[in-house]
Amino acid sequence: MGRFICKRLAATILVIVAASMLTFGILHLTPGSTPATILKYAFIGLEEIPTDAEITEITTRFKLSDPLYQQYYRWIKQALRGDLGDSYVYRLPVAELIGLRFPATALLAVLSVTLSLLISIPLGILCAVKRNTFFDHFNRLLALFAVAMPSFWLAYLLIIVFSLGFNLFPVAGFRSLSSLVLPCVTLAAGMGAVTLRIMRSSMLEVMGQDYILTARSKGLYERSVIAKHALKNAFLPVVTVVGLQFGHMLGGSVIVETVFSWPGIGKLLIDSIFAKDIPVVQGCILLIAGTYALVNLLVDLSYALMDPRIRYGRES
């Protein structure tokens, strides 16, 4: 088990390095000159035209005229020592900036995944048990709507109805707990719809297995057949999907955070990309790739807890 974890962590570091290289390269391919963009966002204002002197000043200050590989080398050398550099725009250390933004994203991730599970798991099980009834068709149709609806569209609908219409929740920002409701619902709808469909189909597949017939032949109550024999087996594929969803949410949802002006990682990332605030973008990618890989590892480890057939790193 220990060896398995070490191997996976080593692979995670490789993934992070590769991801940071790619982002670094792509960032330099995006249109607009880097020094001019930084100038506009951080110093002189978006409508101003930077002078040649200002451009030279920024280029030399951030060493932007060096070849790309040198710039990347400088960044990764620092990063490996634990220093993610300073933001061009906010003039704060990147680590501090992420530390300020991450809690809002994490809170949203935990709450939206919890909400999604609370609704989708029981409904998914019930849909499978009552398959092809009105209840099943209705919930599947609802799930189809939720999964097909783009999150920004659902977000605006919710804002129009519940913020502007009934004045129940704030339109945007994060000032009180009631600010959490609309972004949470938006995210949970998309995730919950996927989880519901997977829970239902996984449950249906398990209910057709031979060991369910065995359980019924013993004379068990149908609820014991479901609770003791079917559920645990049906959860296995659901855990993978929910784990990936959670990992995704921890990296911040760019769209939902933008619509609700949510002070999280997603919003920070997209703002920094526009401003070509390279150190911040690199830091965010580091965090997103890292948490995603880590959550994945945790999902794999939880499999070993749930399924006795899976034992990592031990020859059977």
Partner 1 sequence: MLNKQVMSPLLSIRALSTCFQIQETVVKAVDNVSLDIYPDEVLALVGETGCGKSVLALSILRLLPENSLSEGSILYKGFEILEGSNEELRALRGREIGMIPQSQASSLNPLLKVGWQVMEVLRLHTKVRKPDAHKKVVELFSRLQLPEPEKRMDYYPHQLSGGMRQRVLVSMGVACNPNLILVDEPTKGLDAVLRMEVVKLLGRQAAENNRSMLLITHDLSVAALLADRIAVMYAGEIVEMGSSAGVLKIPRHPYTQSLLDSLPGRGFKPIPGFSPSLSRIPPGCRFQPRCRVACSKGAALHPDLREADPNHYVRCFHAD
214 binds partner 1 (CB under 8 A): yes
130 binds partner 1 (CB under 8 A): no
227 binds partner 1 (CB under 8 A): no
Instruction: Figure out which of the listed residues 239, 294, 307, 312 binds partner 1, where binding follows CB under 8 A.
Output: 307
Instruction: Figure out which of the listed residues 1, 213, 227, 298 binds partner 1, where binding follows CB under 8 A.
Output: 213
DSSP state of 263: -
Q: How many chain residues bind partner 1 (CB under 8 A)?
A: 21
Nearer to partner 1, 3 or 232 (CB): 232
In whole angstroms, the minimum distance from the beta carbon of 308 to partner 1 comes to 4
Nearer to partner 1, 209 or 261 (CB): 209
Instruction: Figure out which of the listed residues 209, 240, 261, 296 binds partner 1, where binding follows CB under 8 A.
Output: 209
Nearer to partner 1, 83 or 307 (CB): 307
Asked if residue 277 lies in contact with residue 87, where contact means CB atoms within 8 angstroms, the answer is yes
In whole angstroms, the minimum distance from the beta carbon of 143 to partner 1 comes to 23
List, as one string, the DSSP characters of 60-129: HHTTTTS-HHHHHHHHHHHHHTT---B-TTT-SBHHHHHHHHHHHHHHHHHHHHHHHHHHHHHHHHHHHH
Distance from CA of residue 253 to its chain's centroid?
Answer: 6
Report the half-sphere exposure of 287 (CA within 13 A, side-chain side).
27
In whole angstroms, the minimum distance from the beta carbon of 237 to partner 1 comes to 13
Looking up tokens 């960044």 gives: 75
- Cα–Cα distance list, 289 to 3, 100, 296, 300 (Å): 22, 19, 11, 17
Instruction: Name which of residues 232 to 251 contact partner 1 (CB under 8 A).
Output: 232-233
Nearer to partner 1, 70 or 214 (CB): 214
In whole angstroms, the minimum distance from the beta carbon of 140 to partner 1 comes to 19
Structure tokens at 240: 């993978």
Nearer to partner 1, 123 or 206 (CB): 206
Nearer to partner 1, 31 or 308 (CB): 308
176 binds partner 1 (CB under 8 A): no
302 binds partner 1 (CB under 8 A): no
- Cα–Cα distance list, 31 to 28, 37, 224, 266 (Å): 8, 10, 61, 21
Q: Could you count the other beta carbons within 10 Å of the beta carbon of residue 208? A: 8
Residue 151 makes CB contacts below 8 A (sequence gap 6+) with: 186, 187, 189, 190, 253, 255, 256, 259
Nearer to partner 1, 38 or 129 (CB): 129
Instruction: Figure out which of the listed residues 94, 98, 215, 269 binds partner 1, where binding follows CB under 8 A.
Output: 215
Q: Is 192 exposed, middle or buried (0-12, 13-18, 19+ CB in 10 A)?
A: buried
Q: Which residues bind partner 1 (CB under 8 A)?
A: 209-211, 213-222, 228-229, 232-233, 306-309
